């Protein structure tokens, strides 16, 4: 099966700073690379995704970059705010086989 | 659309009892996933269905767990008999184009 690793497992930043979370994967057939945010007591929700024909995608303060050769993709959050505090999961996916593996999660804490 | 619907939202039961969790996916989504989430093990994939057919159940912990999807709008996850270590939040998610749409989850406590 797919090996997925997320780093770091916890991240604490000051409000206004940037945060970067990295996800490495092993399955070269993965072609869809989403990031999910899970606030305390709530369900995971998609915040941004990228497909394998694109290297970078940005949506306001969040962005995802993909390096398919090295098999990793990263979540970038700029100008962090306290409401960004949550657990973030990556889930590299082979949409053909509908196979995916969630990373172990990164707990982001934004200090006001 | 109401999104993915799960019931019950909370379940407290005693060890040895049968537990049935229910999920209604979003209409038109043809894949459905069941997950279990705990602090110790994170988010674990238990089983998923494509077009109502179970595709991969390698994540189902043991024979006490079973899942069915009798039609495109309904799925169940059953635990019989339940044990305290089954206590967790169970999510189902329906999928379109790779994106997972999670239900609100069922918080199961087995005493």
pLDDT for B86-103, tens place per residue? 999 999 999 888 889 999
pLDDT at B4 over 70: yes
Asked if the Cβ–Cβ distance from A98 to B31 is below 8 Å, we say yes
Enclosing H/E stretch for B1: none
Q: What is the per-residue pLDDT for A51?
A: 92
Q: Tell me, what DSSP letter sits at residue B29?
A: -
Out of A44, A49, A100, the one facing B102 most closely (by C-beta) is A44
Choose, out of B9, B39, B43, B50, the residue to mutate when testing the contact with A (most A CBs < 10 Å). B43
Looking up tokens 């305390």, which residue turns up? A40
Q: Which residue of A has its CA nearest to B101?
A: A45
What pLDDT sits at residue A67? 95
User: What CA–CA distances, in Å, run from A36 to A95, B57, B76, B78, B99?
Assistant: 17, 23, 24, 27, 10
A52 pLDDT band (50/70/90 cuts)? Answer: confident
Percent helix, strand and coil across chain B, each to the nearest 5: 5, 60, 40
With cut-offs at 50, 70 and 90, classify the pLDDT of residue B1.
Answer: low
For residue A22, pLDDT over 90 is answered with yes
Residue A23 reports pLDDT greater than 70? yes
- Cβ atoms of residues B106 and B93 within 8 Å: no
State yes or no: pLDDT of A99 exceeds 80.
no
Rounded to an integer, what is the distance from CA B54 to the centroid of its chain?
13
């Amino acid at each position: 099966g797919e090996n997925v690793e997320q780093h770091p497992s916890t991240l604490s930043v000051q409000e206004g700073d940037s945060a970067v979370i990295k996800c490495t994967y092993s399955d070269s057939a993965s072609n869809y690379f989403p990031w999910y945010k899970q606030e305390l007591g709530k369900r995971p929700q998609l915040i941004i995704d990228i497909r394998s024909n694109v290297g970078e995608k940005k949506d306001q303060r969040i962005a995802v970059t993909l390096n398919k050769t090295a098999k990793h993709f990263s979540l970038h959050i700029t100008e962090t705010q306290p409401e960004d505090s949550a657990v973030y999961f990556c889930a590299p996916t082979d949409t053909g086989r509908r196979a995916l593996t969630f990373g172990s999660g990164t707990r982001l804490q934004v200090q006001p | 659309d109401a999104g993915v619907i799960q019931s019950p939202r909370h379940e407290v039961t005693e060890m040895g009892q049968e537990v049935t969790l229910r999920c209604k996916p979003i209409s038109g989504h043809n894949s459905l996933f069941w997950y279990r989430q705990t602090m110790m093990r994170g988010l674990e994939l238990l089983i998923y269905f494509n077009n109502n057919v179970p595709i991969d159940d390698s994540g189902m912990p043991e024979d006490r767990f079973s899942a069915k999807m009798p039609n495109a709008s309904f799925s169940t996850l059953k635990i019989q008999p339940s044990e305290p270590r089954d206590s967790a939040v169970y999510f189902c998610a329906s999928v379109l184009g790779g994106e997972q749409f999670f239900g609100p989850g069922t918080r199961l406590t087995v005493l």
